[in-house]
Amino acid sequence: MRLDDATVFVTGAGAGIGEATALACAAEGATVVATDVDEEAAAETAEAVRDAGGEAVSHALDVTDGDRVHDLVAATAEEYGLDGIVNNAGVGHPPAYAEETGTDVLERVVDINVYGVWHGCHAALPIMKEQGRGAIVNVASLAAVLGLPKQAVYSLTKGAVLNFTRAIAAEAGPKGVRANAVCPGFTDTDLGRQYFETQSNPEEVRARMEAQYPLKRLGEPEEIADAILFLLSEESSYVTGHGLIVDGGYSIS
């Protein structure tokens, strides 16, 4: 198995890409530490892992709380070891032009999407550097590469995640630590569906969006999880500082 005897810490593991990642890692032999701001959702993911024959524990975690992130990552390393961390927790915002977006939206999205990733990496890096190995995967977005209209704040934060990933890859590589990002296109998750619900005709908007993708459909969380799994595993042992686009061909259309 690709992650046999490894321990992987996953944020935002209660649903969507995070949940799919937890299940995929466990299926490949990892012990999963599933965390989410929704404690019950994290527990349900851990239970699903165990029901499938894997090993998992769960914890409530607000990634904007830097002290809590550091404490929980350190406790994980102490009890189980720390081979990988997936900084997945993130939020979007209702479509709006940049000049129409309020500071409250900016602060909330930056707090979770940028500071959350910063805290996870900041906590994991010293541990991984000291042990001379480890894989960090940060969940960015296609918005980090293209920039999306009426998604200025989201694009801002995900662009920051991608470039931050490159910076820490350069810093940590000499210590045997790899850092990569995944850049998913529109994925069929609760967060994605919330976007459609803001539209006057959700089904029509979804159909129009799907038509823009060469594969003529949205991504599934499990497909993004497979990319994350690759970046965590030794199959990507010579890959670092990379933003892996997983977008059904949208960026070439």
The larger pLDDT score, comparing residue 197 to residue 251, is at 251
| pTM for this model (two decimals) | 0.96
Return the domain boundaries, the chain. Answer: 7-187+221-242
3-state class (DSSP) for residue 224:
helix
Complete DSSP assignment for 150-210: TBHHHHHHHHHHHHHHHHHHHHHGGGTEEEEEEEE-SBSSHHHHHHHHTSSSHHHHHHHHH
Q: How confident is the model at residue 94 (pLDDT cuts 50, 70, 90)?
A: confident
Find all residues with CB under 8 Å of 220, minimum gap 6, and list them.
20, 187, 188
- The candidate with the shortest Cα–Cα distance to 70, out of 125, 19, 112, is 125
Q: Which residues pair with 177 in a beta bridge?
A: 134
Q: How confident is the model at residue 191 (pLDDT cuts 50, 70, 90)?
A: confident
Answer yes or no: is pLDDT of 192 > 80: no
Average pLDDT over every residue of 7-29: 98
- Please identify which of the residues 80, 97, 154, 250 carries the catalytic annotation: 154
Average pLDDT over every residue of 163-181: 98
CB 189 within 8 A of CB 142: no
Q: Is 213 a catalytic residue?
A: no
* CATH class of the 7-187+221-242 domain in this structure: alpha beta
Could you read off the pLDDT of 105-147 as tens digits, one per residue?
999 999 999 999 999 999 999 999 999 999 999 999 999 999 8
Taking residue 75's Cβ as centre, other Cβ atoms within 10 Å add up to: 12
- Residue 213 is given by DSSP the state S
Q: How confident is the model at residue 148 (pLDDT cuts 50, 70, 90)?
A: confident
Average pLDDT over every residue of 164-190: 96
Percent helix, strand and coil across the chain, each rounded to 5? 55, 15, 30
For the record, the structure tokens of 101 come out as 């977006």
State the residue for tokens 């349900």. 44
Answer yes or no: is pLDDT of 47 > 90: yes
Answer yes or no: is pLDDT of 196 > 90: no
> What rounded mean pLDDT belongs to the chain?
96
pLDDT at 64: 98
Distance, CA of 43 to CA of 58 (rounded, Å): 5
